[in-house]
Structure 1
């Protein structure tokens, strides 16, 4: 009977990015390397910098030995769910919503037109009073 592989989204993986809970993603496989951080020859900061993203390039660029790759497999907890998008879909506002915003803006300008008119009116009255004294 084949073992079922747990699938994780990139968002789920990105939440495990601390020294107390550290997951990395390499070649679409998810690894919980929390217990290995203190033993990592390059230091835990190198591994922590590779969390919350696909760390395949960083792992390959480091030139890990065959034994390091075998050790990594012992930390495998699942795979990346490639069926879900890496970036969540953005909600596109409808034209009705944008016209609602325009209506609200127009409504606000109707309510507050008096403020600049009063300021100009006071300035004109003060100007006339000043000119009258001379």
Structure 2
């Protein structure tokens, strides 16, 4: 009778990212390396940095030995769920949003009319005070 493999999502694996509970994903397999953190030759920081993502490239770049690859099997708890992630669609534009530059400019100008009026008013007052001193 074949053994059933537990499937985990990357999101679920990424939630296990502390010294007390650390999972990593390598080559589509999920490993619970919590008990191995203190024994890891590169230190626990290396494993903790590999959580929350597929760490296959990081693992391969480190050049692990055959014995390290064999040791990994002791920590394998399942496989990464191959089903694609469902990303909800976002509505970018609303129906009332202006579509061309002139409409957007007029809308902004109408909302912030006080700033240009204040600049003009201060300029007029400054000019009058300057002329008055002469």
Query: What is the TM-score normalised by the length of structure 1?
Result: 0.70
User: C-alpha distance in 2, partners of 1:97/1:24?
Assistant: 46
User: C-alpha distance in 2, partners of 1:130/1:27?
Assistant: 76
Distance 1:104 1:65, change over 3 A: same
| Correspondence for 1:56 | 56
Aligned-pair distance for 1:81? 1.3
Q: Number of matched residues?
A: 131
1:91 matches 2:90: yes
User: C-alpha distance in 1, partners of 2:81/2:116?
Assistant: 58
Indicate the SS of the match to 1:96. coil
Distance 1:127 1:34, change over 3 A: same
The Cα offsets for residues 16-40 of structure 1, whole Å up to 9 and x where unpaired, read as 2222211111110001110111122
User: C-alpha distance in 1, partners of 2:57/2:114?
Assistant: 62
Spell out the pairing of 1:13-28 with structure 2 (5 A cutoff): 13-28=13-28
Distance 1:28 1:106, change over 3 A: same
The Cα offsets for residues 93-121 of structure 1, whole Å up to 9 and x where unpaired, read as 13636439x87875453143134224413
1:71 matches 2:71: yes
Indicate the SS of the match to 1:51. coil
**Alignment RMSD (CA, Å):** 3.3
| Correspondence for 1:81 | 81
Q: Unmatched 5+ residue regions in structure 1? A: none
Runs of 4+ displaced beyond 4 Å: 87-90, 102-108
Q: Unmatched 5+ residue regions in structure 2? A: none
